[in-house]
Amino acid sequence: MTTAVAAPFRFFSLQVVTTRRLGPSLVRVTFAGPDLRAFRSDGCDQSLSLFLPHPGQSEPVVPLERGDDWWQGWRELPDGVRAVMRSYTLRALRADAEGHTTEVDIDFVLHGIGPDTSPQAGPASRWAARAATGDRVLLLGPAVADNRAIRFRPPEDTDLILLWADETALPAAAAVLESLPAGTRARVWLEVPRPGDIQDLATAADTEITWFVRDGSGVGGPGAGVTHDQGTPMALDSLRTAELPPAERPYVWIAGESGPVKQVRRHFVGERGIDCRRVTFVGYWRRGMTEEQLREQG
């Protein structure tokens, strides 16, 4: 079933095809379904809304029959009935010979549960940790390749790409790196919870990647394992001392938890003097708040 909502976005009814553990804190879920033929995206950091069932439900409950009024209908459902909605970034899509999307990958962070599920984990993390072939979800995503939920848009004259991301923005950062052509210069700082979450990222660009690991093991590159305030990005000291390649028109993309995102942006704009119009920053989440609470704040 497909339902038009705020074009160019629509609902896609999908099923889990496979799951693959990427590390102790990360799992990749591959989805497919006939609806995906209409899915389109040309963005590296394409934002999506995923609707998940509660335990005991065979599929997520979203009142699609209400048409454009589905949102109000969804909000009126009891907490234990209405589908769990969470925002994610598309990691990858695959298409057939005719260009129709056949599968999409979404990487989930298993917040607070490590390799096993825990009562303290959020509903999306619990769902992802237990996801199995055939599980049903709803995805609210684009039917137009170039859409407003794509944020990574470096100007054509960019001569240096600078990226910072935590684990929630790692899928987007990885997709960005894969998209960069040979000859592009990029410097990247990535933060993950555990050493096993470090990934071997493919790119044709001239890229230097520095990983930071928050578990205190000292694994993962300069700054890894350093004791720090949870609201402060581990990469900040490294950023301040980094000697960046000479560039006249750098572009910066920063995404992850809102607090560190603001601090990293302040560094690049205030301390490095980079034009704020060439800096994209996105708070994917906020420490101590659920997505429902963030949406209530507007």
Is residue 91 over pLDDT 90?
yes
pLDDT bracket for residue 95 (50, 70, 90): very high
pLDDT of residue 121: 65
pLDDT bracket for residue 229 (50, 70, 90): very low
pLDDT bracket for residue 113 (50, 70, 90): low
pLDDT bracket for residue 215 (50, 70, 90): confident
Is residue 109 over pLDDT 70?
yes
pLDDT of residue 117: 45
The top-level CATH class assigned to 160-285 is alpha beta
pLDDT of residue 45: 96
Q: Where in the chain is the domain with CATH 2.40.30.10?
A: 4-147
Is residue 116 over pLDDT 80?
no
The domain made up of 4-147 has a fold known as: Elongation Factor Tu (Ef-tu); domain 3 (2.40.30)
Q: Give 136-145 pLDDT, tens digit per residue.
A: 999 999 999 9
- Residue 44 burial by CB count (10 A; 0-12/13-18/19+): exposed, middle or buried? buried
pLDDT of residue 214: 85
Mean pLDDT of the chain: 87
Task: Name the more confident of 240 and 155.
Answer: 155
Q: Where in the chain is the domain with CATH 3.40.50.80?
A: 160-285
pLDDT of residue 243: 92
pLDDT of residue 296: 52
